[in-house]
Amino acid sequence: MSDAPFPASAPRLSDRLLILSVFVVASCGLAYELIAGALSSYLLGDSVLQFSSIIGCYLFAMGVGSHLSKYVDDRDVLARFIDIELLVGLLGGVSATLLFLLFAWLSVPFRTVLYALVFLIGVLVGMEIPLVMRVLHARQAPFSELVSRVLTFDYLGALAVSLLFPLVLAPQLGLSRTAFLFGMTNVAVALWTLWHFRLQVPDLRGRLLRGLVLLCLLAGGLAYAERLTRWAEQGLFGDEILYATTTPYQRIVVTRWKDDTRLHINGNLQFSSRDEHRYHEALVHPALQRLPHARSVLVLGGGDGLAVREILKHPQVEQVVLVDLDPEMTGLFSRNTELAALNGGALTDSRVTVINADAGQWLEAGSEVFDLIIADFPDPSSFGLGKLYSVPLYRLMGRHLSERGMLVVQSTSPWFAPLSFWCIDATLREAGFHTHPYHAHVPSFGEWGFNLATRHPGYAPPEHYSVPTRYLDRETTRLMFQFPPDMGRREVEPNHLNSQRLVHYFQQDWNRVVR
């Protein structure tokens, strides 16, 4: 029996297949739109804006696609439909992962690529429905029936995804894998259309091969998407990401490689668990060993609690106040068991008070007096940060210091940034302190420097330590306070607020190092 005299109201199998592909194609189209919107809200924030602009761009692009569809020659309609499906599958499938990678590596052209990608997918998806309609029309389907059926399934497909995406796909699979899944679905539509109409499509083998390769590629993507996004960040940090978060103040990433846990803030290494004891012992003990009567200690910055861990080794200390801006940071190092293990639970110790406030503002507002102040601020790489190393701020710290108290300042590297290091020393002296510069070798940082400042002369480095130390001993300490000629004192100006010499020195120093 021939299939020619089928009544129009009972569509043939090929037509049903095409209608089904409309459903699938519509689902995929909406999925890419939702993925792009969700991804950009997630990465850029301001979700109303991101969703509106993505949807706007996408719908407009679909209009452009519909318009362009008229330029497809009637004879090529089916072949073009299959090609477009393959292309949509590829672009849509890799879209989320591509954008993730791009954001991790280069943040600048991110928006350009985002909108270009959304536009491109929109154009292709916009061509799909008109092409399907033309295929059906060419197959003599009555127009009213055709329009009604195609659009019904178009909207049904959209409904399906709009429910599936937020309830199942995004939470279960994540954005990257969802995109790959829909990409595969698009390619599957292309392949089964291709197979069904194999007699009418030119270059069957070539298209079949491309489709299958794409399907494998996307399946691989689906399997490895999770790892790919991790690689994206590992590309930045080198190691496995243990924890990553973006707070209003900074991007915090904790990585691990074997037994080495590292903290990065805005991409800058803060510590490596392998050698951080060198840094923190050097930061704390030369001062605190010489303050047997120290009752209270103030730590500015240092939300990782590692300096506090060292301070708490000294039994005479009754109170430690840690002022760090970011509650995420101090929360992470109080609650996360792995990270709190690094500081020995220092931040939850009963002697410790954590204050999440801006150190500058806190110093201005308060009047508490401490026996030791440790200023562990980020390096003076901007005019804002440079003020934390200025004469007035050191004078202000001086007002929070007891008569025999000491101030220790993280002072950048005397090897890489000698002008900056000695500028901090000169600034402390300008603020009326006696300074005792020293340095320690921290392998993951290189040679690092500190300034110990006192109101009165007479400080001498400790001869021994009454607390357990892994790095410091008498000989190490003696060498720490000696500067070989290639790290010797430089003649530099102190850092005043109205000149901000330190920021200029810091730029000079690092321009010299990084060629």
β-strands 251-257, 260-265 pairing: antiparallel
Which of the ranges 41-49, 177-185, 340-348, 416-424 carries the binding residues for other proteins, by CB under 8 A? 41-49
CA angle 359–44–247, rounded 5-degree value: 25
The span from the CA of 382 to the CA of 393, in Å, is 16
Residue 16 CA, distance from chain mean position: 47
Judged by CB under 8 A, which of 4, 498, 511, 514 binds other proteins? 498
Is residue 374 involved in binding other proteins (CB under 8 A)? Answer: no
- Other C-beta atoms closer than 10 Å to the C-beta of 13 total 10
In 3-state terms, the chain is what percent helix, strand and coil (to 5)? 60, 15, 25
From the list 112-120, 148-156, 359-367, 454-462, the region that binds other proteins by CB under 8 A is 359-367
Token pair in block for residue 100: 């993730």
Q: Which of 391, 419, 440, 472 binds other proteins (CB under 8 A)?
A: 391
Question: Could you tell me which stretch among 77-85, 132-140, 331-339, 385-393 binds other proteins (CB under 8 A)?
Answer: 385-393
Q: Build a one-symbol-per-residue string for 325-344: x at contacts with other proteins by CB under 8 A, - elsewhere.
A: x-------------------
Q: Which of 76, 240, 364, 473 binds other proteins (CB under 8 A)?
A: 364
Which 398-427 positions form the footprint of other proteins (CB under 8 A)? Answer: none
Measure CA 99 to chain center.
13
- Decide: is 60 part of the binding site for other proteins (CB under 8 A): no
Q: Verify binding: residue 429, other proteins, rule CB under 8 A.
A: no
User: Radius of gyration (Cα) for the chain, nearest Å?
Assistant: 32
Nearer to other proteins, 179 or 492 (CB): 492
The 3-class secondary structure across 426-447, one letter per residue, is HHHHHCCCEEEEEEEEECCCEE
Q: Which region, judged by CB under 8 A, interacts with other proteins, from 68-76, 166-174, 272-280, 494-502?
A: 494-502
For helices 77-105 and 110-138, angle between their N-to-C axes, nearest 10 degrees:
170
Q: What is the spatial distance between Cα 91 and Cα 85, in angstroms, rounded to a whole number? A: 10
DSSP state of 254: E
Query: With binding defined as CB under 8 A, does residue 390 bind other proteins?
Result: yes
Under the binding rule (CB under 8 A), the answer on residue 301 touching other proteins is: yes
Query: Does 76 sit near other proteins (CB under 8 A)?
Result: no
Q: Catalytic: 376?
A: yes
Residue 499 lies near other proteins (rule: CB under 8 A) = yes
**CA–CA separation, 202 and 198 (whole Å):** 8
For residue 385, how far is the Cα from the chain centroid?
22
Q: Closer to other proteins at the Cβ: 248 or 468?
A: 248
Of the residues 15, 239, 326, 376, which is catalytic? Answer: 376
Query: What is the nearest approach in angstroms of other proteins to the Cβ of residue 358?
Result: 5
Q: Toward other proteins, which CB reaches closer, 13 or 497?
A: 497
Which one of residues 46, 203, 240, 368 is an interface residue with other proteins (CB under 8 A)? 46
Binding-residue pattern over the window 107 to 126 for other proteins, x denoting contact by CB under 8 A = --------------------
Q: Residues 217 to 236: which contact other proteins by CB under 8 A? A: none
# residues contacting other proteins (CB under 8 A): 31
Which letter, b or e, does each residue of 492-502 get, where b requires 16 or more Cβ atoms within 10 Å of its Cβ?
bbbbeeeebbb
Is-contact 490 449, C-beta < 8 A?
no
| 47 lies in the site for other proteins, by CB under 8 A | no
Nearer to other proteins, 373 or 388 (CB): 388
Helix (H, G, I), strand (E, B) or coil at 501: helix
H-state helical runs in 200-272: 204-237
Between 8 and 49, whose beta carbon lies closer to other proteins?
49
Q: In what order do the strands lie in the sheet with 240-246?
A: 240-246, 251-257, 260-265, 268-272
How many angstroms separate the CA atoms of 269 and 264, rounded?
A: 4
Q: In the bound complex, what is the minimum distance in angstroms from residue 388's beta carbon to other proteins?
A: 6
510 touches other proteins by CB under 8 A? no
DSSP secondary structure letter of residue 302: -
Taking CB under 8 A as the rule, does residue 245 contact other proteins? no
Residue 325 CB, shortest distance to other proteins, in Å, is 5
Nearest-approach distance from CB 380 to other proteins, in angstroms: 12
**What angle (nearest 5°) sits at the alpha carbon of residue 106, between those of residues 102 and 111?**
65
Contact positions vs other proteins (CB under 8 A): 46, 48-49, 52, 248-249, 300-301, 325, 358-361, 364, 377, 382-385, 387-388, 390-393, 496-500, 503
Q: Active-site positions?
A: 376
